[in-house]
Structure 1
Amino acid sequence: MSSADEVRIEPQVFGNLSVPRRSGLGGLSMGVSAALIPVVLLGILFLATGRWLLAGALVLAAAVAVLLLVATKRQGRSIYGRTMLRLSQRVKEKSGRDLYLAGPTGKGTPDGATRLPGLMAKSELSEFTDSYGNPFGLIRLSGAGVHNYSVVIETHPDGDSLVDREQIDHRVAVWGSWLTQRGLDEGIRGASVTIESSPDSGLRLAGLLEANRQSDSPDYARAVTEQIGETYQGGAPQLVARVTVTFDGRRLDGRTGDRGFEDMAEEISTRLPAIVGGLAGTGAGSVKACTAQQIIDFTRVAYDPTVASLVEEMQAQGGTGLGWQDAGPSFARDAFEHYRHDRAVSKSWTMYEGPAGHFTSTSLRRVLEPSPELLRKRVTLLYRPIPADRTTAMVQQEQNDAAFAGSQTRRNARAALRQAAAAKTAQEEAQGAGLTRFGLVITISAATEEDLRPWNKRIPGLVAPARLRLRPALANQAVTFQAGLPLGLVLPDHMLVPDSVREFF
């Protein structure tokens, strides 16, 4: 067959992503437009009473404030937002809340435990069995109006090497259906996928060679195996993927409070096999829920990556014996641009703007590839499926806002694309598609702060093929570090301002 007769298979492209927001006057947000209403009324009052100077000063001050809000935006933050981050960090440091000391000599832990800090400080971990008799760990995070229960599922993806394009597209479709089903299920607060890469300690290869060594083997075979162990001691980097599903544990009778471990475990145990089985066609490979001990071990390694080889060795010898109260760091400092914990320092980035156009199933390949220079790298996709009873209202609201925004500004390509995207979303939702909010957290861990400096520009560049925009989690490194762990932390549940209010701004 000649080159002219060859059939070229184009990769499947995806897109039509939008952010729910309320549009105001003149291209401003609804919140800013609403804040200007009292200013306008007060200016009219000054004009009516003859106080021209006050009216002019008020209009000038409002114009400067709006101009600074619009013109000083950098990485999605205005000068007001950046100033508030600086002030909050300063208040945090003066009050001592940026430091965490645990263990026998720590403060705030009279029992000498090294619990998880921050939002996960009140978390609990227990183990149950599902309807098929398989054990699974269940994390409970309760308090201050939050009653969430999370399970962690460990997967071993097959990869896309030597996989046909049609099969890859099928896997993407199955994954989309899995997310849609989470929106149809009752009581799902969120889900996440964490891909963690780290250098191989070489213990797995050494254990494999030792287990297959024979005392009567030929000298040549013994020499070859010994050379393999010495040559490939570093091995290929480890790559682990974990899926976390978080359930709502609030009481069903309308009262405030938690349903409790036993009640939630009984419900989750019957639903978990279907959730795990739904991942079969996504390319996740072998899928199994993590036990409580596995959750403890990988959490401990996340806070102190230098003990990874020791934990792996103890696991091979029967288990680490660690408890949930031992999984946290003994020392942590939440700095403005990084997070120091035990013998490592980490930095996290968050997505502040999604893909502006089309992307493919391989757009995140570069950022997911292992980085041998780092102790740990985690890429976490956060999902919050919208319940099916709310999707229609959200789609209609987005159509109305897109039409209103187009009428407020001169017709341009961006306004036309937003209206077209809203119409396409409404059509797909009417055909049974679900809506899902999503975000991205990237966390890297190294031995020193200097080792992180070259990655300040490399990390945003790795997501360039996906057309994502990242920014450092300034003044929120500790919280973002926990959000990137596969522990089921749903950050919007811990915010004082709900989504319905934040959409106005």
Structure 2
Amino acid sequence: MSARDGATATAADDQVRMYGGWRLRRGIGLWGLDAASTTVVLACALVPLLLTAISPLVGAISAAPAMFVASVTAVRVGGVPLGVHVRRRVTWGRSSRAGRSSRRYGPNAASTAAAWPAPLGKLQMVEAQGAKGTYAVVRDLDLGLLTVPIRCAASSAWLVERDQADGWVGAWHAWLASLGYAPSVRWVSVVVETAPEPGTALRDEIAAREAPSSPRDARSLLKELVRRSPAAAAHVATWVCVTVDPTGTDPRRRPRRTGTAADAVQDLPELDRLISGLESSLAGCGVTVLGRADATQLLGVVADAYDPAMRGRRSTVLPATRRTASRLRTWDDGAPVAVEESWDHLRHDSGISVSWGWREAPRAQVTSDVLSRLHSPGRHPRRVALLYRPLPAADAARLLEAEVNAADFREAMRRAQRRDETARDLADREQARKAAREEASGAGVVLVSIYVTSTVTDPALLPDAVAEVEARADQSRIRLRRLYGGQAVGFATTLPLGLHPVAMTDRPRRGRRSRG
């Protein structure tokens, strides 16, 4: 999804400000196909004709496979080419037969098993020392990328004036646009985690502060409030994860894929300076920066995601339990015990999760709180990850000009074929030209994607959790697609670890064969 991060805002002072500018990337293609699919379809039509000129028998024999290849390329099911569905099913069947969809981890696993399930098996974590203290850095061993998770407290747009919320959106747009001039920043992921509050934190806090000499009525009132608080309270956490490429500032450098994560951090002395600058710029975006996450905080989030039954109980676990709050210091301490991936869900320790990906953005202009329903707490734990890949300023201009040229090419082909222009073609061409004009005026261009994961501890509650997420997506005017055959990737993407599904395809083949 190609988007201009809220750059289009049309409103007078006495009207509600509206935002838009999301547009699906479209290359030069015919019949609604992209360039690669168009080339395959044209080749399937031309090759039998050329072979027929040489030998009618050979041409007739080649017609059947050519029609099959053209069909699986051009026919779409749910907006996805049929060939992608077939390839996904074949890959999934091969992985299931090889036993890679179900695996046990941790101390009870076989000695040859990896500590983490894919795609987390190629990550490492180290605590780096910065100007503001110690913080956690996640390193991708295959790609050589470093991710710094930043803890934030987001302000609710429902509790402030609309003008102030619009100012936050404008500041966020400026923050994203500035990333186009930071060559070392590969992408930024914003993870919003919500869950019903179990009430144990409040109970432990009240119990620690309760004085034996306090009035009995006051103690009774506090106990009643603690008993009723889980029904009304909710846990909300916001993470801004910045993924940095150490070779971004110097193209001659090669990413280090050997050694420890500590060596990688030592090779990037400007990491603390870069993150400090980005943190200071976030102050005007409607969030309060709480600081960079340390190892215990980051591993606690990951451990709660895989084992939701232990949420809020890390400090009071039994000695025989494998994970305790004091032991969540190393990377392997937060690893799950067992993970089993199915076609449409992921089973992990005490939870079952379902993940979705962004299929279509709002077609009409929307207000600044369009995603509030999707982010707000519900009956089940949920994580929403917004991934922003900023385009360098020079590449953004070339990309938008190519989009305009592709739209003009499709218009010329329509006229040559004497077809009527559809409303969608007209709107898409106008949107491409408008995006190019706004980029020329200083707007930034980012590639945006959204991933959502909902988790339950009881399999009977899974249909209710699925219905809740899909209903909230409709209220947010976006369309989600269930990640069939890719639940493990969707689950890992919504963790504050800086993973991006597009970058996973760039991993070396040896990295993609990690167990899980």
- Give the TM-score normalised by structure 1: 0.87
Matches within 5 A, 1:21-420: 21-49=26-54, 51=56, 55=59, 62=66, 66=70, 69-71=73-75, 73-109=76-112, 115-131=115-131, 133-143=132-142, 146-232=143-229, 234-250=231-247, 252=250, 254=252, 256-258=254-256, 260-311=263-314, 313=316, 319-322=325-328, 323-372=330-379, 374=380, 376-409=381-414, 410=419, 411-420=421-430
Structure 1 Cα separation of the partners of residues 424 and 274 of structure 2: 43
The 3 A distance-change label for structure 1 pair 27 and 337 is closer
Q: CA shift at 1:216, angstroms? A: 3.0
1:378–1:443 CA contact under 8 A, matched in 2: yes
Q: CA shift at 1:391, angstroms? A: 0.9
Aligned residues: 479
For 2:8, the equivalent position in structure 1 comes to none
Q: Give the counterpart letter for 2:360 in structure 1.
A: E
1:98–1:335 CA contact under 8 A, matched in 2: yes
The more displaced of 325-334 and 265-274 is 265-274
Structure 2 Cα separation of the partners of residues 63 and 232 of structure 1: 63
For 2:5, the equivalent position in structure 1 comes to none
The 3 A distance-change label for structure 1 pair 427 and 268 is same
Q: Give the counterpart letter for 1:320 in structure 2.
A: S
- Select which of 421, 424, 441 maps to 2:434: 424
SS in 2 for 1:22: coil
SS in 1 for 2:108: coil
The 3 A distance-change label for structure 1 pair 203 and 449 is closer
Q: CA shift at 1:191, angstroms? A: 0.7
The 3 A distance-change label for structure 1 pair 257 and 223 is closer
- Select which of 490, 495, 501 maps to 1:485: 495
Structure 2 Cα separation of the partners of residues 461 and 99 of structure 1: 31
The more displaced of 340-349 and 159-168 is 159-168
Q: CA shift at 1:99, angstroms? A: 1.6
Structure 2 Cα separation of the partners of residues 448 and 319 of structure 1: 25
1:208-266: CA deviation from partner (whole Å, max 9, x where unpaired): 43344333333332332233233335550111111111001348362543284233552
Q: CA shift at 1:55, angstroms? A: 4.6
The 3 A distance-change label for structure 1 pair 277 and 435 is same
For 2:321, the equivalent position in structure 1 comes to none
Q: Give the counterpart letter for 1:444 in structure 2.
A: S
The more displaced of 322-331 and 244-253 is 244-253
For 2:6, the equivalent position in structure 1 comes to none
The 3 A distance-change label for structure 1 pair 108 and 415 is farther
Structure 2 Cα separation of the partners of residues 37 and 230 of structure 1: 68
SS in 2 for 1:419: helix
1:191–1:384 CA contact under 8 A, matched in 2: yes
The root-mean-square deviation of aligned C-alpha atoms, in Å, is 2.7
Q: CA shift at 1:280, angstroms? A: 0.8
2:37–2:73 CA contact under 8 A, matched in 1: no
1:75–1:352 CA contact under 8 A, matched in 2: no
- Select which of 449, 470, 474 maps to 1:464: 474
Q: CA shift at 1:432, angstroms? A: 1.4
For 1:443, the equivalent position in structure 2 comes to 453
The more displaced of 22-31 and 210-219 is 210-219
For 2:483, the equivalent position in structure 1 comes to 473
1:277-314: CA deviation from partner (whole Å, max 9, x where unpaired): 11111111343211122111111111111111222558
The 3 A distance-change label for structure 1 pair 420 and 205 is same
Q: CA shift at 1:495, angstroms? A: 0.8
Q: CA shift at 1:37, angstroms? A: 3.9
The 3 A distance-change label for structure 1 pair 174 and 108 is farther
The more displaced of 76-85 and 39-48 is 39-48
The 3 A distance-change label for structure 1 pair 321 and 50 is closer
Q: CA shift at 1:325, angstroms? A: 0.9
Q: CA shift at 1:481, angstroms? A: 0.6
1:319-359: CA deviation from partner (whole Å, max 9, x where unpaired): 53312111111110111111111111111011122222222
The 3 A distance-change label for structure 1 pair 278 and 474 is same
The more displaced of 408-417 and 434-443 is 408-417
2:124–2:139 CA contact under 8 A, matched in 1: yes
SS in 1 for 2:425: helix
The 3 A distance-change label for structure 1 pair 70 and 466 is farther
The more displaced of 223-232 and 157-166 is 223-232
Q: Give the counterpart letter for 2:119 in structure 1.
A: L
Q: Give the counterpart letter for 2:102 in structure 1.
A: L
The 3 A distance-change label for structure 1 pair 235 and 88 is same
SS in 1 for 2:212: coil
SS in 1 for 2:145: strand
Structure 2 Cα separation of the partners of residues 38 and 398 of structure 1: 24
Structure 1 Cα separation of the partners of residues 55 and 221 of structure 2: 97
Structure 1 Cα separation of the partners of residues 157 and 50 of structure 2: 67
The 3 A distance-change label for structure 1 pair 230 and 15 is closer
Structure 2 Cα separation of the partners of residues 343 and 457 of structure 1: 21
The 3 A distance-change label for structure 1 pair 281 and 255 is closer
The more displaced of 263-272 and 331-340 is 263-272
SS in 2 for 1:21: coil
SS in 2 for 1:287: strand
